[in-house]
Amino acid sequence: MQNVLLWLFYITSFYAFIPGLISRLFGFRVFRRGKKEEQAFALTFDDGPDPVYTPQLLDLLQRFDAKATFFVVGVNAEKHPAILRRIHDEGHLIGIHNYVHKSNWFMRPATVRKQILCTEQIIREVTGDRAAYYRPPWGIVNLFDFAKSNGRRIVLWSSMFGDWRVRTGVDRLTRRMLQKLRGGEIMLLHDCGRTLGANADAPQNMLVALERVLIEAGRRGLRSVRIDELAGGAVEMNATHSEGWFKKVIVRSWLLYERAFHTLFRLEPANPQEPMLHFRRRKYKGQPVDFADGVSLVKGDDVLELHFDNERLYQIGSTAKTPMHVAIQMIRSVEKQLPDLAARLAADSQLEKVKAVYGVSMINRGAEKLGFMVRDLPSGLFASSSKLYLRLLLSVIHPSGQERLKRRSDVLVPKLIVMPVSVLTGRFLKNDSVGSGMTLNDHPLPEHPEEMGMGTASAQTVNSSTSTIA
């Protein structure tokens, strides 16, 4: 049961939770707001086209010379090609909202891709244009939405108003929209009320409120424009304006997530006073590993699964001045914890059957210097998802993450690291007052310390919650 729970936690985190968090909260690889100093905002409409309300909406937009973006559901567009053609002919932008209104969290990557391609084909056949913008239903993205964009830009929003519910009412909806009426805003509205959780008549209230908003927008000198026009300078703005707070907020969120992981799976620190390494006892589930003494680690053996304390690792990375400084601190910190781990193994009778300590990490050369064996992960879902996920987070957290990935993509790969208990206790178990059997001078730094996988805070910040082999 625990293994099932563990896998559910991993799959949910890798595939849905973390991608959704960093896109919705931090705007990673999505467009969700333009420049506030713009004299333009974007009206976006989801779930249509609708045979009753979309034509009324188009009439309203035409009266005010307003342009908008329609994220259409493929099955609706297929039923109403004349309305889709009118949207295009009147100068509005058409984007994709899947073929059916279903969350990407509950579909396989191949299914999501099929939904997008099918909707794009419908749009192309009717309008002759390719759909370059995509909004997943409910704004929910999965891991592969980032990796397989195929040139399409994911668009979310900066404000929504509950216009899909009739009980919101015209007056309240108007107030909410006027409060957000400003330059750079991306407003989420709906021209169809036939999706899950919506009221069929709700778009009628939206149309009345929108007319009031467009009148006020004209008074303020604000224009309603298409997403592609609003997005013109957004990338530059996001890159220059958000780097400092972006990194702080996303790291803080990741550390909160890690604490939840540690609590859920009852990880113990090797040294409670100075937690760097955490562990838990479990049965080994991976492929056999042969040790130098002729002993093999096989499925069912007791092992200690290692996890790094990302908060401590982030502190090291954020205070270090050079990659060499990072590497030295990392080696010393890990080396200092291994004697504590060896002592825990020697003193705890419940751990006497543990055969090895292991984990999955971006550490490679550095780990070998400490006595670990390094092995490639067997190909499969876990290996590929871990690799993609770790690189995704590295590109978010590290200020030059994309450059690092291009320059040293062969090094930034998660690997299995294993150390037999006999090696751990033989090299690191303290004897009386002698201290550890190794010092930093016993294992010199690699020629390129940044290639250890420990050379930046981000490389370790993304380590902890993937340090499991199931």
Q: pLDDT value at position 415?
A: 81
Picking from 163, 162, 109, 161, the residue whose alpha carbon sits closest to that of residue 136 is 109
Q: For this structure, is 190 an active site residue?
A: yes
**Which residue would you say has higher pLDDT here, 150 or 402?**
150
Q: Is the pLDDT of residue 309 over 70?
A: yes
Tell me the mean pLDDT in the region 306-333. Answer: 66
Please, which pLDDT band fits residue 417 given cuts at 50, 70 and 90?
Answer: confident
Strongest mean pLDDT among 160-164, 228-232, 378-382: 160-164
Strongest mean pLDDT among 117-131, 145-159, 310-324, 337-351: 117-131
Catalytic residue chosen out of the listed positions 46, 50, 191, 340: 46
Quote the percentage of the chain above a pLDDT of 70.
66
Tell me the mean pLDDT in the region 279-301. Answer: 88
Please, which pLDDT band fits residue 24 given cuts at 50, 70 and 90?
Answer: low
Q: Is the pLDDT of residue 409 over 60?
A: no
Q: Which CATH superfamily is domain 27-241 in?
A: Glycoside hydrolase/deacetylase (3.20.20.370)
Q: Is the pLDDT of residue 1 over 60?
A: no
Q: Is the pLDDT of residue 76 over 70?
A: yes
Q: Is the pLDDT of residue 142 over 70?
A: no
Tell me the mean pLDDT in the region 372-379. Answer: 82
Q: Which residue type does 146 have? A: F
HSE-CB of 294 using CA atoms within 13 angstroms: 0
Catalytic residue chosen out of the listed positions 101, 190, 278, 307: 190
Q: pLDDT value at position 42?
A: 96
Q: pLDDT value at position 250?
A: 60
Q: Per-residue pLDDT tens for 244-262?
A: 555 566 666 667 777 777 8
Q: Is residue 459 a contact partner of residue 406, using CB atoms and an 8 Å limit?
A: no
Please, which pLDDT band fits residue 112 given cuts at 50, 70 and 90?
Answer: confident
Q: Is the pLDDT of residue 48 over 70?
A: yes
Q: Is residue 430 a contact partner of residue 436, using CB atoms and an 8 Å limit?
A: yes
**Which residue would you say has higher pLDDT here, 39 or 241?**
39
Please, which pLDDT band fits residue 44 given cuts at 50, 70 and 90?
Answer: very high
Q: Which residue type does 423 have? A: V
Quote the percentage of the chain above a pLDDT of 90.
37
Q: Is residue 148 a contact partner of residue 109, using CB atoms and an 8 Å limit?
A: yes
Q: pLDDT value at position 99?
A: 94
Q: Is the pLDDT of residue 124 over 50?
A: yes
Rounded CA gap, 106 and 315, in Å?
37
Q: For this structure, is 325 an active site residue?
A: no
**Which residue would you say has higher pLDDT here, 403 or 39?**
39
Strongest mean pLDDT among 10-19, 248-257, 362-371: 362-371
Q: pLDDT value at position 461?
A: 31
Q: Is residue 231 a contact partner of residue 81, using CB atoms and an 8 Å limit?
A: no
Picking from 284, 282, 304, the residue whose alpha carbon sits closest to that of residue 296 is 284
Listed in sequence order, the residues at least 6 apart from 77 whose beta carbon sits closer than 8 Å to its beta carbon are: 49, 84, 119, 122, 123, 126
Q: pLDDT value at position 20?
A: 54
Residue given tokens 């990194």 in the structure block:
247
Tell me the mean pLDDT in the region 336-348. Answer: 90
Q: Is the pLDDT of residue 9 over 60?
A: no
Tell me the mean pLDDT in the region 74-90. Answer: 96
Domain boundaries, the chain: 2-14+242-466, 27-241
Q: Is the pLDDT of residue 74 over 60?
A: yes
**Which residue would you say has higher pLDDT here, 325 or 210?**
210
Q: pLDDT value at position 258?
A: 74
Q: Per-residue pLDDT tens for 159-175?
A: 999 999 999 999 999 99
Q: Per-residue pLDDT tens for 204-219?
A: 999 999 999 999 999 9
Rounded CA gap, 454 and 450, in Å?
7
